Amino acid sequence: MRRQTGYDLDLDGFDTDHITLGAEVLYHNPYQGRRWNDGETTIASLLEAMAAWVRGDRPPPYPLTEGAQDHWVAPAVEVAAESGETVVTTPQAWA
């Protein structure tokens, strides 16, 4: 469930507060109060993680191997969507 502020009589301003599955909080907005949309929040999170990686404080936020595998899967998703058939991919050498 997504908890969004700024609706009805909520005067906190428009923001995603958190996302839960049952009682478990899966995501908490690290930029609460800035009123950023989902794309802006994602970009800021990625830039912050990239800066930490460049400083040597953490692993890369989106490793090249994962990006390459995601790119490999993307055309299969399109084929499946167009054909209605199941398309099977396998991990490639980079993964």
pLDDT in tens, 52-92: 999 999 999 988 899 999 999 999 999 999 999 999 999 99
List residues bridging with 3 in a β-sheet. Answer: 18
How far apart (Å, rounded) are the C-alpha atoms in residues 39 and 5? 17
What is d(CA 50, CA 44) in angstroms, rounded to the nearest whole number?
Answer: 10
Answer with the residue of higher pLDDT: 20 or 8. Answer: 20
What count of Cα atoms within 13 Å lies in the side-chain half-sphere of residue 34? 12
Asked if the model's pLDDT at residue 95 lies above 70, the reply is: no
Query: Can you name the residues that pair with 15 across neighbouring β-strands?
Result: 5
